[in-house]
Amino acid sequence: MAGLAIDRVTKRFGEHTAVDALSLEIKPGEFVALLGPSGCGKTTMLRMLAGFETVDEGRIQLADRTLASADTHVPPEQRHMAMVFQSYALWPHMSVADNVGYPIKLRGLRGTAYQLKVQQALALVELEAYAERMPQALSGGQRQRVALARCLVSDPSVVLLDEPLANLDRHLRATMEHSFRDFHQRTGATLVYVTHDQSEAMALADKIAVMKAGQLVQWGTPETLYSKPRTVWVAGFIGQGSQLKVAAGHPGKHLEGADLMRGLNAIATERTQSVLVRPEHIQISTQTPAANQLAAQVESVIFRGERYELSLRLPSGETLLAYHHSAPDPGSQVAVSLHQGWCLEPDQ
């Protein structure tokens, strides 16, 4: 497998900069997600990787081969990449096997070699038994796996996926997440996966590129993005949590319990540092608050199956999201202990 290098790539549409000097180093065999809200440039970046859009500035390289730059544009069919679209894009008049084999048939492969390649691709997505079925006889998840097999039949160096689960219901998305993870483990392929769904990206990817307004905001593992988001915006976009103001700490550092509680109890004018507190780092007690705790009012309680999700109001007026094993009454008072926070940089 070849590594993929994106070096300060920029794409403009008239006066609008869709992708702004974005750089990424994707290792061979990595599963990478491009994550961000609608309009952040993630699909434009994917289309530049595929060769469907030209590059205005910067360079895209696959191993030592330049695929795109301001004066170079290798056509999509010569990039040794394959793309899975949101809409599946299957031929309705062709069987599953014929859909999968279509790219290599165009290249002139026939006979036993053709049949073997199709069987191998279907085996990778566990659809061998469906080879003779028509697309309309398949579920949405099965159609998406056919589209994936069609990509794999030509042994691409990189597989590009443009929101492939967006058209599936919640249960089927969860099933397909397992299918994508298993597929990646079996093939070791390099995958670049576009999504606006942070839970999807966190569940699937080895690394995530968080994008906003065409720029890369943070690049890291799901664990790093969850526990150490760089900015206020990333902290709000990734996972659940509460952002509070404290008179302690420095950006990019943890703030432990005693220091965190003292920082929260400072006067308002001194509380200038934004800190992220995840709900699992909050302890709730229905007893009278002790000296090292805060009083909070329960505003709402939502049952989540294995736990209750509490929205609390602190004396400062700030809100706090916490988990608890039982359901206190809305309007009641609870005692709160915060064990850990992560100090954030302000948004630019």
What does the pLDDT read at residue 185? Answer: 82
CB atoms within 10 A of CB 134: 16
Edge to edge, the sheet with strand 273-277 lists: 242-246, 273-277, 340-343, 254-256
CA 334 to chain centre: 35
Residue 1's pLDDT is 60
Q: How many domains is the chain partitioned into structurally?
A: 2
What is the predicted pLDDT for the residue at 106?
85
State whether 114 and 245 are in the same domain. Answer: no
Q: Do the domain assignments include residue 309?
A: yes
Task: Give the single-character DSSP code of 76.
Answer: G
The token duo for 340 is 């850990």
Distances (CA, A) of 80 to 5, 30, 65, 103, 164: 15, 17, 11, 12, 20
Instruction: List the domain range (segments joined by +) for residue 242.
Output: 233-343
Q: Which of 200, 228, 256 is the last residue of a domain?
A: 228
Residue 209 pairs with which residues in a beta bridge? Answer: 34, 219
CB distance 318 to 268 below 8 Å: no
Of 183 and 236, the one with more pLDDT? 236
pLDDT tens digit string along 84-99?
877 778 899 999 999 9
Which pLDDT belongs to residue 253?
A: 96
Instruction: Estimate the share of the chain in helix, then strand, then coil, as percent rounded to the nearest 5.
Output: 30, 35, 35
Query: Which tokens is 8 given?
Result: 């300060």
Q: pTM of the full predicted structure? A: 0.86
The answer to whether residues 185 and 146 belong to one domain is: yes
Calculate the alpha carbon distances from 149 to 90, 96, 177, 191, 297 in Å.
Answer: 11, 10, 16, 14, 53
Give the model confidence (pLDDT) of 226-283 as tens digits. 999 999 999 999 999 999 999 999 999 999 989 999 999 889 999 999 999 999 999 9
Phi, psi of 125 (to 5 degrees): -110, 10
Question: Cα–Cα distance between 48 and 18 in angstroms, integer?
Answer: 11
Q: Can you give the pLDDT at residue 140?
A: 82
- Position 221 in a domain: yes
Residue 331 has pLDDT above 90, yes or no: yes
Q: Domain of 280: which CATH number?
A: 2.40.50.140
> Has residue 348 been placed in a domain?
no
Mean pLDDT over 112-125 rounds to 90
- pLDDT tens string 311-320: 999 988 999 9
Q: What is the pLDDT of residue 189?
A: 83
Of 212, 228, 244, the domain-final residue:
228
User: Do 287 and 337 have their domain in common?
Assistant: yes
Cα separation, 208 vs 218, whole angstroms = 8
54 plus 128 within the same structural domain: yes
CA atoms within 13 A on the CB side of 179: 22
Average pLDDT of span 131-145: 90
